[in-house]
């Protein structure tokens, strides 16, 4: 394992232990040299002196150094709980029909009531809500493939149109037919220009930039907004295009550009949190989950991060994993590295400033 993956900020870890931060459970282990015991950050036991505590990335590391698990906070159970949640997510995503809670819990070795609480703690939503959001997202993808609403409903795994309409109204904030009429009534101007990270698509309504991505073209834009009036830019948004290029080349000098994006309430909260990350700093997915008030929803934050429609302007590239590794990036990891480097982030010592 690389030094980057093993990197732990001891002061940030101690601060998490000092405030008994549950969001850090499973991310770091504190081992007390005077007692020989290791604990998770939220352990209710009285805190030892700072100089008596060592930090490890996981229980295995602490055991390898000769420490034993705390019988009060049972830190080893955290890893088992999170593995169970990850396995349940995989089962939900692989299933063609909704999986009942009792079946899901039995498959990962927990009682239904206990597992419902664990899943909601880690994902920010219940198993049923996660499955509903997954089906709605699949329906969106099928709709973008020019399928009819009825085809999209059944292909996404819904048993009946009524359930899709109920889910879509809650999740999308509009009726399925209105979503299918994506962009109707809007004029969207676009430009594809060269950037140091490759071809850059900038598309905008009269309110602001609605799409900024690497490697997309007019066809991709038309698939996303099939009924909008799509026009190649005649210079109307040239100033915004130049500003976007400046945000890539010289981020410290980039202007504040207007954006016109819409998502679910959760997505928009995540995107707002991303815009608050200062230039030259990074945050972890867990940090963003805590910032939006759902510390257990780390995986959901990653999904919202990946759904960001305006790269760079909503700086999803500033989010990395808690262990210091980069995680994913829609524009490709090489571009993520270049964007962070342009902002002064040293990848040898990731900037995980959680102050």
- Where does the chain show beta strands of DSSP type E? 29-32, 37-39, 53-56, 68-69, 187-195, 198-204, 209-214, 229-232, 283-284, 319-320
Distance CA 22, CA 117 (A): 14
Residues 201, 211 contacting (CB under 8 angstroms): yes
For 263, counting Cβ atoms within 10 Å of its Cβ (0-12 exposed, 13-18 middle, 19+ buried), the class is middle
SS3 assignment, position 254? coil
Nearest-10 Cα torsion for 81, 86, 87, 91: 140
Active site residue 210: no
Catalytic residue among 39, 70, 73, 210: 39
**C-alpha triplet 41, 45, 47: angle, nearest 5°:** 75
Q: Could you give the strand order of the β-sheet that contains 29-32, starting from the edge strand earlier in sequence?
A: 53-56, 29-32, 37-39, 68-69
C-alpha distances in Å from residue 60, one per residue of 25, 36, 229: 14, 14, 57
What b-and-e string marks burial along 189-205, b requiring 16 or more CB atoms within 10 Å of the CB? bbbbeebebeebbbbbb
DSSP assignments along 266-286, one per residue: HHHHHHHHHHTSPTT--EEHH
Instruction: Say if residues 352 and 282 touch (Cβ distance below 8 Å).
Output: yes
User: Please, what is the Cα angle at 283 between 203 and 261, to 5 degrees?
Assistant: 25
CB 225 within 8 Å of CB 183 = yes
> DSSP states of 36-48 as a string?
TEEE-TT--SPP-
Say whether 43 is catalytic: no
Q: Which of 43, 73, 210, 316 is catalytic?
A: 316
Q: How many CB atoms sit inside 10 A of residue 74's CB?
A: 13
Any idea which residues carry the catalytic annotation? Answer: 39, 316
């Amino acid at each position: 394992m690389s030094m980057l993956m093993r990197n732990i900020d001891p002061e940030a870890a101690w601060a998490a232990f000092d405030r008994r931060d549950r969001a850090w459970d499973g991310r770091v282990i504190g081992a007390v040299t005077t007692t020989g015991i290791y604990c998770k950050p939220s352990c209710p036991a009285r805190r030892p002196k700072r100089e008596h505590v060592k930090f490890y990335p996981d229980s295995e590391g602490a055991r390898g150094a000769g420490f034993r698990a705390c019988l009060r906070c049972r830190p080893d159970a955290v890893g088992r709980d999170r593995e169970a949640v990850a396995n349940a997510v995989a089962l939900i995503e692989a299933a063609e029909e909704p999986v009942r809670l009792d079946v899901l819990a039995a498959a990962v070795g927990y009682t239904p009531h206990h597992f419902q609480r664990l899943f909601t703690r880690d994902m920010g939503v219940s198993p049923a809500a996660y499955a509903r959001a997954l089906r709605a997202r699949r329906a969106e993808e099928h709709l973008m493939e020019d399928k009819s609403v009825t085809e999209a409903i059944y292909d996404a795994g819904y048993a009946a149109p009524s359930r899709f309409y109920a889910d879509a109204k809650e999740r999308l904030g509009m009726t399925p037919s209105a979503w299918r009429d994506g962009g109707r009534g809007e004029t969207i101007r676009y430009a594809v220009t060269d950037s140091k990270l490759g071809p850059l698509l900038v598309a905008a309504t009269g309110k602001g930039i609605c799409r900024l991505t690497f490697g997309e073209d007019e066809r991709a834009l038309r698939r996303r907004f099939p009924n909008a009036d799509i026009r190649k830019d005649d210079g109307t948004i040239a100033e915004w295009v130049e500003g976007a290029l400046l945000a890539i080349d010289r981020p410290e000098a980039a202007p504040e550009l207007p954006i016109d994006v819409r998502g679910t309430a959760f997505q928009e909260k995540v995107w707002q949190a991303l815009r608050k990350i200062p230039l030259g700093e990074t945050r972890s997915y867990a940090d963003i989950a805590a910032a939006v008030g759902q510390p257990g929803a780390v995986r959901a934050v990653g999904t919202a991060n990946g759904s960001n429609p305006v790269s760079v302007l909503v700086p999803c590239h500033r989010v990395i994993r808690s262990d210091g590794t980069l995680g994913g990036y829609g524009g490709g990891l090489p571009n993520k590295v270049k964007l962070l480097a342009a902002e002064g982030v040293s990848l040898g010592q990731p900037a995980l400033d959680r102050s």
